[in-house]
Amino acid sequence: MEPVKIVDGLAVPLDRANVDTDAIIPKQFLKSIKRSGFGPNLFDEWRYLDQGEPGQDCSARPVNPDFVLNAPRYKGARILLTRDNFGCGSSREHAPWALADYGLQALIGPSFADIFFNNSFKNGLLPIVQPAAVVDTLFAECEATEGYRLVIDLAAQTITRPGGEVLGFEVDAFRKECLLNGWDDIGLTLRHADEIRAFEARRRIEHPYFFS
């Protein structure tokens, strides 16, 4: 994974609650056995007017002009503003793969679904929780201001708004280190292989029926 330190980019507001991972990347694209190439089908049913199928050339498809990601002013956005419970539903990691492949690097919202939240960190996508009132303000400012950019500094745990105001945010120390360094957490876990082996040996004696 590439390290994530600073996200400096255009924000795009997706103003709906309970956005599920089926909406983020519909099921027909889950047939792929790759991790990449999901960006063109991000939010497929909202983004296009026709029905998407795997392997299509999306550049030739009719786009939905009413969908916010299609507005020219949000082209090249790096930060997605979200509402409550973003990423609910299916555990498909194809959802963060699609968001990242599209070019998004951070999400800011009042709450995220647990599995999606976890999956995002594994893919260099930073989900940031902010109080609902702050998120309301960011939505209002973003919608009112063309070219609305935010600067997220992960090391300092700050979001800087265009006027220079700075917001703080919380992030787990472990996840932060992994993102800043681009660490692969399997490698980190395997540093504790002896402890895992010792635990497993004890468990095998105590509960042999779990190992048959």
Q: How far apart are CA 186 and CA 166, in angstroms?
A: 34
Q: How far is the CB of 163 from another protein (least distance, A)?
A: 25
Instruction: For another protein, give the closer residue by CB, 20 or 141.
Output: 20
Instruction: For another protein, give the closer residue by CB, 93 or 101.
Output: 93
Instruction: For another protein, give the closer residue by CB, 168 or 187.
Output: 187
Report the C-alpha dihedral over residues 12, 105, 93, 95, rounded to 10 degrees: 20
Q: How far is the CB of 131 from another protein (least distance, A)?
A: 15
User: Assign residue 145 a region: left if phi > 0, alpha if psi is -120 to 50, beta otherwise?
Assistant: beta
Instruction: For another protein, give the closer residue by CB, 9 or 26.
Output: 26
**Cβ atoms 190, 164 nearer than 8 A:** no
For the chain, the straight-line distance linking the first and the last C-alpha, in angstroms and rounded, comes to 36
Q: What is the contact surface with another protein in residues (CB under 8 A)?
A: 15-18, 20, 22-23, 26-28, 30-35, 45, 51, 54-55, 83-85, 88-93, 96, 111, 113-115, 118-119, 122-123, 172-175, 184-186, 189-190, 192-193, 195-196, 199-200, 203, 207-212
Q: Which long-range contacts (CB under 8 A, 24 or more apart) does 141-148 make?
A: 142/11, 142/12, 142/13, 142/81, 143/13, 146/73, 147/10, 147/73, 148/10, 148/11
Instruction: For another protein, give the closer residue by CB, 105 or 119.
Output: 119
For residue 3, how many C-alpha atoms fall within 13 Å in the half-sphere facing its CB? 8
Q: How far is the CB of 200 from another protein (least distance, A)?
A: 7
Q: How far is the CB of 174 from another protein (least distance, A)?
A: 4
Q: How far is the CB of 145 from another protein (least distance, A)?
A: 20
Q: How far is the CB of 164 from another protein (least distance, A)?
A: 29
Pair of tokens at residue 158 = 């700050």
Instruction: For another protein, give the closer residue by CB, 78 or 83.
Output: 83
